[in-house]
Structure 1
Amino acid sequence: MGRFGVGQGLRRVEDVRFLTGQGRYSDDIKLDGQAYGVLLRSPYAHAEIRAIDLEEARALPGVLGIFTAEDLSADGVGDIPCLAPMPGKGGGKTVMPPHPALARGRVRHVGDPVVFVVAETQAQARDAADLVMIDYDDLPAVIDTGSAKEAGQPQIWAEAPDNTCLVWEMGNEAGTKAAFDKAHHVTSLEFVNNRVVVNAMEPRGTIGDYDAATETFTLYTGNQGSHRMLGPLSRVFNTPQEKLRVISPDVGGGFGMKIFVYPETVLVLFAARRLGRPVRWISERSEGFLSDTQGRDHVTLAELALDENAKALGLRVTTTANMGAYLSAFAPYIPTGCYGPMLSGLYSIPVGYTEVICVFTNTVPVDAYRGAGRPEAAYMIERLMDAAARDLGLAPEELRRRNFIAADALPFTTAFGETYDSGNFGLIMEKGLEAIDAAGFAGRRAEAAARGKLRGLSFASYGEVCGSNGEETAQLKLREDGGVTLWIGTQSNGQGHYTAYTQLLADKLGLEPEQIEIHQGDSWDLPQGGGTGGSRSLLMGGRALDGAADKVIERSRRVAGHLLEAAEADIEFAEGIFTVAGTDRRVTLAEVAKAAGGGNLPEEIQEPLEDQHHVVAEAQTYPNGCHLCELEVDPETGVTSILRYVVIDDFGTLVNPMMVAGQVHGGTAQGIGQALLEHTVYDENGQLLSGSFMDYCMPRADDMPSIELTMIEDMPCATNPMGVKGAGEAGAIGACPAVINALVDALSPLGIRHIDMPATPEKVWRAIQDAHEQRAAE
């Protein structure tokens, strides 16, 4: 292992560029002759569009075009497709209403785009948008997830009776009922997994260009994978994918939200073709609240059947999941195919069944958000296990001990069909309990009580499936100067891909970091790319990179054999040096590169030292761990303060422990934010009440505890040749249940059994007052 290789805490190689202002984000791209687009969005959650008057707006200086749905239809622009329809219960299908880039006839959420204005300057486009007159006929709106499907609610789509998009099931319904029928005890818990706004550091932005001579579209947009956009855009514009080029520059955060084709993506390309010049649209933060896909938003009833020894017999889960007004790209898949398989967590539950009802509401569409279904599943099972332990009078850790999948039972196939290959879930929990000094907690709780405070300690043992989805491609070229250039189909959103790939190549080829050049984000660089999402980049990208490096080494071996006057089969390669086996005769990779570029080699080995490797997903990977939280509540104010936060994680082989720690810290901050602070609130008319940072509470530095992180590396993944399990989403998966379990532990002396996220000071204070009133009434 070299000093820059796998396992080293190398500082991120890309950060010098970012910290010195050399990053190139969507808003940094300036094309010659570019125009500026502004969207006029609906102020209503649900309304008929009676008329649109553009006359006065079109007369303003600088206005180049003002477009409505009719203009898109006239140019043959199609609707934005949903890419993940799921099979319904009993042979039903996903209801997939049209999703036009501009509203046709009716708006269905506040922020629904209605008119696209393009002008010479941003200010001129804004002025023109202010003069567009739209006559709306306001309609009743459906907002609440839990009641959206109830009889008598306004209908959002005629083709979706009871506002139901999909009823999906997984598991053994009859077997689960039988398990519940014979149960000694059943714990039930109803709860909400609150809707959150994604809020990436960099708002969305997109710039469209069109070459009429070649009939080629070029899109510049910060996203999570340029190749992912080709298929949907090809369908929207009815054009071959080879006529589309997507370039993703630096991206300031994605978290799932930047995977998709949005209306603005379509509009800038349409307008560029119509106007014959580039068109750009850059979101403002307030606009993002009304247009970026949002996350979570479940209402769930979870039930756990146990025998007389507190061993789980069966699990039954019914979830209503909000899709919003339209189906985003993967929306039906997130609360079904991503959520359902992980519902049994890390536990040996013999049988299970889940039913998920996906509903439409007059709200912003919901799709993948960091973890995409796995955080929701972990929250369900870990809250349920904690509630069951309290119901039975057991310590939460004791119930887990009785129900964890044993290490010697691996590989183990769960009731929902996931096969865990490696890990020791009980051991990780025990390490966490020791690290947070659970044994000494009673004394700390008593000391807090003497100060009038309520102290709680609990944890969540999470599991995740991730990484090995789809396909990935890498291309590697050995340059004449001895360095290498890599093109790869993943897309960094801030995770540190350039550093991770640099370390892999440095380790593989014996190079210094400055000899390695990496390119991502241009769909014309490679024939295929899987992008970034589901903690897949290192798992899939790393394998593709490794295969490409092997091929380049083999090509270089032929040149080395010629230079060393030895048979190719006798040439060995290690740490950047080719040697003749059993001798001290050697030649460096740089010398091979120089010779190959000199043009003096025999014809049969005169070929570029460059090759490409493509990998297809095989088995899944299963990172897991334990988050432990100790906190204190001030009953007079409801303020919750996290005192200690411990994380024990099993990510398999670590390429860069320092970057992994950063991923855990960031994900944990998002989970703590959802648990205590963040909440997307609509009023009964569908107006977004939490539409800015004045009303939507993002976690700040003083809300975050110091995170004490330990990573276990002696249980590498058995289903991935690198031993890597994935780490990008884990923090967001373990944090929510750990925090709420600890909070309920603090409030449990008052008889409080559950509190929904976000547990804001007001909500906690009210729960305490209600508990006091109930006790007084008794």
Structure 2
Amino acid sequence: MLGQSCPRDEDAALVQGQGRYTGDIHVDGAAHLVVVRSPYAAARITGYDTADARAMSGVLAVLTAEDMEADGLGDLKPVIRHKRPGGRDMAETRMALLAVGDVRFAGDPVAVVVAETLAQAEDAAEAVFVDYEPGEAVTDVVEAVAEGAPALWPDAPDNIAFVFEQGDRAATDAAFARAHHVAKLDFRVTRVTAVAMEPRGAIAVPDLENGRTTLWLGTQQPQRTRAALAEDVLGIPADHLRVISPDVGGSFGMKNNASREAGLTVWAARRLKRPVRWMASRGESFLSDYQGRDNVSTVELALDREGLFTALRIRTLGGIGAYVGPSSAIPFTVHLGGLAGVYRTPHIHAEVTGVLINAQPIAPYRGAGRPEATYALERIIDIAALEMGIDRVKLRQRNLITPDQMPFQTGLVFNYDSGDFPRNMDMALEAADWKGLEARRNEARSRGRLLGAGIINAIEIAGGPYQKPMPEFGAFSFDDKGDATLSMGFSDSGMGHITTFRQIAGDMLGLDADRLAFVTADTDAVPQGFGTFGSRTVGHGGAVVANLAAQIIEKGSDLAAGHLEVAGDDVEFSGGAFRVKGTDRAITLHELAAKEPGKLDVSGMVAPDAATFPNGCHVCEAEVDPETGEVEITRYTVVDDVGTVVNPMLVKGQIHGGIAQGLGQALGEAIIYEPGSGQMLTGSFMDYRMPRAGDLPSINVLTNPQPSKCNPLGAKGAGEAGTVGALPVVMNAIIDAVSELGVRHIDMPATPDRVWRAIREARGAR
């Protein structure tokens, strides 16, 4: 079944409106929680007046930080802690469920109201009065580290949360000193928000008899969310909190970590001893969701006379937000190895400064640092090619790692196990008709348009962290009819896990798809696991299923031998059955499981040998109207190596979706704050420009699978590959279109206004 485009088993229910999302769950007697949020991005809380709100009809509770402190609640803790210069610990930025003492971004939660109905809770929230002493906000990372900038936290008067370095600084600097040519670029990667189709929500139901609480919410990591909320925040054993993630309408990293609102919902439910539900509006989502990207960087590329890359270095200011959230450091520091790209650059050094600003905390967002790294590398290659007068395609080809050099130790951390990067480029150039580009440029000029083309190579880590991939849980069980259940620690938010694992299990064990149930995202049913993130599911899941399948076959061979009345050595397994060698005598796995109830059940935590490295080549063409700055993406081709392809249709869907998100950031998506006040100016779909269907051309997706040697399935991951390549290739295409007018660089997003101004500035300078 591997390699077949099987229709998604999940879709029938979803397209008929039979999905069960958090908002669809009805619990009798559930009260409604509304969060009161700060209107200021920087202010001191001097007092609360909740009397009027408490007296309103239907109000059950009005809770502030004083109540939170009295109940002894803990905080959401960072999973990664980096140092500051001089070996100092990372800045302490206490992320309590409610702001304590000061508010640090517009939307910071300061109180909650719980009432019988949503309308009553909303009305009472309006009656909660919080006294503030407003301060000065800083939302730009460059301004935040400037002398005299307002400090967000006493422990970080310079607004620096951490400084992280990777690579050999001395060797890299020495290579730059010897370089024939150095290309340099200052650039900005915008802050964005995930805007999942389904906003966040949570429903908490306390069990008054056993003291446990059940929490429904969309999450990528039910087990880790349970641990964070139970142990770190509530101070209760993890098994006193059950987390269930029902159908999830998109996440992209935003629903990865435990959130303050989920903690507030559980706290309120346990305090009031009744069910409580919270559902974010779209406007509230803009103000409260974890956000992504946001950095200002300087990248430099050193080359010799022949155009060979000799060194790369980058300095980045990363906008962490007002708090170092659970995973805020990950996008800026964990995936820096991607700066090596698919090239033989011997020396690379990166320095990242985590900067505190009056904005929502950052979290991994589809790609989580890999699109930013690829953008930096592929933009500076285009600039180096232009400055040295070398064709940008040839410059890339000249520096590619070749298949005979695998495994390849890059100049920064990563060691690639497999890949054919030259073939990726050759396939993409041919499929995109690169040779016909000039003819298409001329045709566009005849219509008063400028046509540009971008080409980039992308590679990313999947299934990390690199040093030691996290294990994942899996279990097979069989009922008395021989039907199987596969339980795993992953959590689906639209990727098609049921379809995928039915195909994998069918291939490895010959299990009938209609006789295999899939259980996940419920910590009572699957108490162990790490969840879905970092394009890890198929690679890790394949390793888990392969391990469990081997156990089942070993156990089953002995059991089958008894039923077939032969020695164990005379039994072999193939096609879903245990067979007597050289005969037609057999017993299927389903039949054996029914005859031997419970004896074929297996479980375990399994990790692959190493992380994998999906890679590919993207080619994009864009037309620009020089009079208006309007951009139209006209052609898009991508060749991806995601290793063994389980389901080509699902892979193409992931690539398409990833490209759409990368293109969205390149063309319009941006969280923008008003300087000084820190008020969000793009807090609705009126101002935050989402990609539309009309923004995308038909996307030509090809695959060049080079199976990974790091897991039994040979899969590399596909969930983020499209975004990693789309962000740089779209920007390269747009800049190439206007380069003949003298434009060297345009920072994203390439809105018509920004493109038009870049053209006018370039013309004025000529």
Bin the TM-score by the shorter chain.
Answer: over 0.9
In 2, Cα distance between equivalents of 1:246 and 1:641: 44
- Of residues 116, 119, 124, the one that matches 1:120 is 116
Are 1:706 and 2:698 matched, yes or no?
yes
In 1, Cα distance between equivalents of 2:588 and 2:15: 35
In 2, Cα distance between equivalents of 1:133 and 1:673: 39
Instruction: After TM superposition, list the pairs within 5 Å mapping 1:79-90 onto structure 2.
Output: 79-90=75-86
- Of residues 656, 672, 677, the one that matches 1:681 is 672
CA deviation profile, 1:97-144 (whole Å, cap 9, x unmatched): 111101111110011001100011111111111111111111000111
Are 1:335 and 2:332 matched, yes or no?
yes
- The one-letter amino acid paired with 2:110 is V
In 2, Cα distance between equivalents of 1:61 and 1:98: 34
CA contact (8 A) 2:201 2:278 kept: yes
In 2, Cα distance between equivalents of 1:487 and 1:576: 20
Q: How many residues align?
A: 760
Deviation of 1:243 after TM superposition, in Å, equals: 1.8
- Of residues 685, 698, 711, the one that matches 1:693 is 685
Question: 2:738 aligns to what?
Answer: 747
Structure 2 residue matching 1:194: 3-state secondary structure: strand
Deviation of 1:211 after TM superposition, in Å, equals: 2.6
Are 1:146 and 2:138 matched, yes or no?
no
Instruction: After TM superposition, list the pairs within 5 Å mapping 1:440-455 onto structure 2.
Output: 440-455=436-451
Deviation of 1:482 after TM superposition, in Å, equals: 3.0
- The one-letter amino acid paired with 1:478 is F
- Of residues 315, 320, 323, the one that matches 1:323 is 320
In 1, Cα distance between equivalents of 2:643 and 2:173: 37
CA contact (8 A) 2:330 2:368 kept: no
- Of residues 230, 254, 259, the one that matches 1:257 is 254
CA contact (8 A) 2:159 2:355 kept: yes
Question: 1:602 aligns to what?
Answer: none
Question: 2:417 aligns to what?
Answer: 421
Are 1:391 and 2:387 matched, yes or no?
yes
In 2, Cα distance between equivalents of 1:250 and 1:656: 21
Question: 1:222 aligns to what?
Answer: 218
CA deviation profile, 1:362-409 (whole Å, cap 9, x unmatched): 011111000101111001000011111111111111111121112211
- The one-letter amino acid paired with 1:578 is F
Deviation of 1:89 after TM superposition, in Å, equals: 4.8
Higher mean alpha-carbon deviation, 322-331 vs 577-586, is at: 577-586
CA contact (8 A) 1:290 1:364 kept: yes
Instruction: After TM superposition, list the pairs within 5 Å mapping 1:44-443 onto structure 2.
Output: 44-233=40-229, 234-338=231-335, 340-443=336-439
Structure 1: which 5+ residue stretches go unaligned?
598-606
Deviation of 1:481 after TM superposition, in Å, equals: 2.6
- The one-letter amino acid paired with 1:635 is P
In 1, Cα distance between equivalents of 2:270 and 2:606: 36
In 2, Cα distance between equivalents of 1:55 and 1:87: 44
Deviation of 1:146 after TM superposition, in Å, equals: 1.9
In 1, Cα distance between equivalents of 2:586 and 2:711: 33
Question: 1:465 aligns to what?
Answer: 461
Are 1:727 and 2:743 matched, yes or no?
no
Higher mean alpha-carbon deviation, 241-250 vs 752-761, is at: 241-250
- The one-letter amino acid paired with 1:207 is I
Instruction: After TM superposition, list the pairs within 5 Å mapping 1:475-486 onto structure 2.
Output: 475-486=475-486
In 1, Cα distance between equivalents of 2:487 and 2:87: 43
- The one-letter amino acid paired with 1:593 is A
CA contact (8 A) 1:210 1:218 kept: yes
Question: 1:600 aligns to what?
Answer: none
In 1, Cα distance between equivalents of 2:699 and 2:128: 51
In 2, Cα distance between equivalents of 1:426 and 1:572: 42
Structure 1 residue matching 2:158: 3-state secondary structure: helix
In 2, Cα distance between equivalents of 1:333 and 1:595: 49
CA contact (8 A) 2:385 2:395 kept: yes
Deviation of 1:32 after TM superposition, in Å, equals: 2.5
CA deviation profile, 1:513-548 (whole Å, cap 9, x unmatched): 211110111112234111000001111122212322
Deviation of 1:88 after TM superposition, in Å, equals: 4.1
In 1, Cα distance between equivalents of 2:589 and 2:609: 33
- The one-letter amino acid paired with 2:453 is L
In 2, Cα distance between equivalents of 1:16 and 1:156: 50
Are 1:669 and 2:656 matched, yes or no?
no
CA deviation profile, 1:239-275 (whole Å, cap 9, x unmatched): 1222221111111111111011111111111111110
In 2, Cα distance between equivalents of 1:308 and 1:291: 51
CA contact (8 A) 1:89 1:169 kept: no
- The one-letter amino acid paired with 2:506 is A
Question: 1:601 aligns to what?
Answer: none
Higher mean alpha-carbon deviation, 582-591 vs 383-392, is at: 582-591
CA contact (8 A) 2:478 2:594 kept: no
Question: Sequence identity, in percent?
Answer: 47
In 2, Cα distance between equivalents of 1:96 and 1:666: 37
CA contact (8 A) 2:245 2:521 kept: yes
CA contact (8 A) 2:593 2:599 kept: no
Structure 2 residue matching 1:522: 3-state secondary structure: coil
In 1, Cα distance between equivalents of 2:222 and 2:186: 40
CA contact (8 A) 1:477 1:552 kept: no
Higher mean alpha-carbon deviation, 572-581 vs 118-127, is at: 572-581
In 2, Cα distance between equivalents of 1:586 and 1:548: 22
Deviation of 1:231 after TM superposition, in Å, equals: 2.4
- The one-letter amino acid paired with 1:710 is L
Higher mean alpha-carbon deviation, 546-555 vs 273-282, is at: 546-555
RMSD: 1.3
In 1, Cα distance between equivalents of 2:14 and 2:483: 23
CA contact (8 A) 2:330 2:364 kept: no
Deviation of 1:703 after TM superposition, in Å, equals: 0.6
Question: 1:521 aligns to what?
Answer: 521
Structure 2 residue matching 1:612: 3-state secondary structure: strand
CA contact (8 A) 1:545 1:613 kept: no
- The one-letter amino acid paired with 1:577 is A
Question: 2:623 aligns to what?
Answer: 632
CA contact (8 A) 1:327 1:365 kept: yes
- The one-letter amino acid paired with 2:650 is M
Question: 1:650 aligns to what?
Answer: 641
TM-score, normalised to structure 2's length? 0.97
CA deviation profile, 1:392-430 (whole Å, cap 9, x unmatched): 111111111121112211111111120011111122112
Cα separation, partners in 2 of 1:724 and 1:90, compared to 1, 3 Å = farther
Structure 2 residue matching 1:135: 3-state secondary structure: strand
Are 1:565 and 2:562 matched, yes or no?
no
CA deviation profile, 1:546-605 (whole Å, cap 9, x unmatched): 3223323333333322221122332222112221122222222232233225xxxxxxxx
- Of residues 15, 18, 21, the one that matches 2:11 is 15
- The one-letter amino acid paired with 2:533 is G
Deviation of 1:50 after TM superposition, in Å, equals: 1.4
Question: 1:541 aligns to what?
Answer: 541
Cα separation, partners in 2 of 1:274 and 1:368, compared to 1, 3 Å = same
Higher mean alpha-carbon deviation, 90-99 vs 141-150, is at: 90-99
In 2, Cα distance between equivalents of 1:178 and 1:576: 60
Structure 1 residue matching 2:448: 3-state secondary structure: coil
In 1, Cα distance between equivalents of 2:60 and 2:508: 54
CA contact (8 A) 1:751 1:771 kept: yes
Stretches (4+) displaced over 4 A? none
In 2, Cα distance between equivalents of 1:591 and 1:427: 47
